[in-house]
Amino acid sequence: MTLPSAPDPGPRPRRHPGPALPATALLLLPVLVAAAAVVVYRATGRFWGDLAAYRTGALAAAGGDGQLYDVAHRGADGIALGFTYPPFAALLLQPLAYVDAAVGLGLWTLASVVALSAVVRVALHAAGAGPPVRPGAVLAGTVAALPMFPVAGHLQVGQVGLFLMLIVLLDLTSGPANRWRGLGVGIAAGIKLTPLIFVAYLLCTGRWRAAGVALAGFAATVGLGFAWRPSDSARFWGGGLLDTARVTGDPRTVLNQSLHGALARLGDVADVRAVWLPVAALTAVAGIVVAARCARAGDELRGVLACATTGVLVSPVSWHHHWVWCVPALVLLAARARPRAGRAAALAGALLWTLCVASAAWTLVGLRGEDLHFQGWELLHSNAYVLAGLVALGVLARRPGGPRAGADPTGPASAAPRHDQPQERDGETVTRADAIEDPIR
């Protein structure tokens, strides 16, 4: 007897790799980048400049008190780089004193790329992409960020900015249950002073407790520094931190993308304090007001980005790698680049990415021997980040944003209406979702 054959099910559907492949690639990417950094180091014999200064400071601090700010790393180009951070930072960097330079470089680069991916994930979540945030989106954001000069330059010199940015983002964009909001800001400021501007942001948004936690955390880092290295701490906090000559000899260098540097390049003079101080003060006030408006409108990520942009603009020296805040800005624009209302966001994101990638050409300026003098169109090119930051603040001032699903109900946006609450517009009742006309939302 012949049994009837089963019906042909037809061609089998193709299986998609699912989240496993992007997740695996996301894990391998930091390893590959770190391995490449070590290979380049072993081939060239050059240790990443800022990381070398960190390691030199860690070694000096390990040798005893009073030596932290008397040593410097002299690179192959003859430039001496000394340790310029508070003693608390040297305490955290102590592991670098006990590993080989190549090992330290590999581990630092590995951790930096991991921090970059974490920044992309946190920014995606804060921008409303999820939950859950897919590994493929994080991978795409990380890969897109790597060739951007603030990121590539950051990895090249072995800077600490990616870690500080991640700490601040985790602190300020966390959920309403975070009773320790502000602590991350305080710890980040204890490592490098620039995050202190976020204390002003917390105060201007009415989060007094969080501002107090931030200041208490910062004071704790200062206290730990004094307990560990009293002489070095007295030297730093007694006036050493105000010596900008420790950071750069001339603010006109193109890699100094601050208002101070821009004004110095425009005037082609090194000392522009008489002009810079009032301009920086006005920009600081205006920038913090814009940041507070964004937060009160329900968009914490915009508020944080506005505050960070203000900080790098008004700082006396803001190196190209201080502008790593372009990464969450790009993530925000990508998340808001929807088919209909997001064309402006897509265009802005493309321009931002192109600008940050093309600015790598600044490293070639020194080859022409014109690192301090710019004329004509060079003035626009040499001040590109400063101009982009000012434009961004202007856009945010006009369109501070609005509440999103998942916004912190206990934060400054708690008084803002929900998306589905009816509102009045031109005599008719509309929902909040219909009322939003912001092209970059």
Q: Which residues of 398-430 are buried (b: 16+ CB within 10 A; e: fewer)?
A: ebbbbbbeebbeebbbeebeebeeeeeeeeeee
Residue 419 covered by a domain: no
Do residues 47 and 59 touch, judged by C-beta distance below 8 A?
no
145 vs 120: CA distance, rounded Å: 9
Residue 128 covered by a domain: no
Residue 335 covered by a domain: yes
Residue 193 covered by a domain: no
- Tell whether the model's pLDDT for residue 404 goes beyond 70: no
Smallest CA-to-CA distance from 384 within 266, 287, 262 is with 262
Q: For position 23, what pLDDT does the model report? A: 86
Least confident range from 84-93, 105-114, 373-382: namely 373-382
Q: Where are the beta strands (DSSP E) in 301-349?
A: none
Q: Where are the beta strands (DSSP E) in 12-163?
A: 72-74, 80-82
- Mean per-residue pLDDT, 309-331: 95
Do residues 161 and 311 touch, judged by C-beta distance below 8 A?
no
pLDDT in tens, 412-424: 444 444 433 444 3
Q: Strands 422-425, 72-74: parallel, antiparallel or unpaired by DSSP?
A: unpaired
Confidence of residue 361 (pLDDT cuts 50, 70, 90): confident
Q: Is the dihedral of CA 99, 101, 104, 110 positive or negative?
A: negative
Q: What are phi and psi of 243, to 5 degrees?
A: -85, 90
Residue 277 covered by a domain: yes
Helices first, then strands: H and E counts in the chain? 19, 4
Q: For position 207, what pLDDT does the model report? A: 93
Interhelix angle 20-44/101-126, rounded to 10 degrees, is: 150
Between 414 and 337, whose confidence is greater?
A: 337
Question: Residue 350 to residues 13, 50, 333: CA-CA distances in angstroms?
Answer: 36, 30, 9
pLDDT in tens, 93-145: 999 999 999 999 999 999 999 999 999 999 999 998 777 888 899 999 999 99
Least confident range from 171-175, 256-260, 426-430: namely 426-430
Q: For position 436, what pLDDT does the model report? A: 35
Q: For position 291, what pLDDT does the model report? A: 97
pLDDT in tens, 276-303: 999 999 999 999 999 999 999 989 999 9
251 vs 293: CA distance, rounded Å: 32
CB atoms within 10 A of CB 175: 11
pLDDT in tens, 6-41: 555 555 555 555 568 888 999 999 999 999 999 999
The domain tally of the chain equals: 1
Residue 138 covered by a domain: no
pLDDT in tens, 134-183: 889 999 999 999 999 999 999 999 999 999 999 999 999 987 777 899 99
Q: What secondary structure does DSSP assign to 155-174, as a single string?
A: HHHT-SHHHHHHHHHHHHSS
Residue 263 covered by a domain: yes
Domain that holds residue 289: 243-405+433-441
Residue 195 covered by a domain: no
Q: For position 420, what pLDDT does the model report? A: 39
145 vs 138: CA distance, rounded Å: 11
- Mean per-residue pLDDT, 257-278: 91
315 vs 256: CA distance, rounded Å: 10
Q: Strands 80-82, 72-74: parallel, antiparallel or unpaired by DSSP?
A: antiparallel
47 vs 36: CA distance, rounded Å: 13
Instruction: Return the residue matching tokens 């101080």.
Output: 277
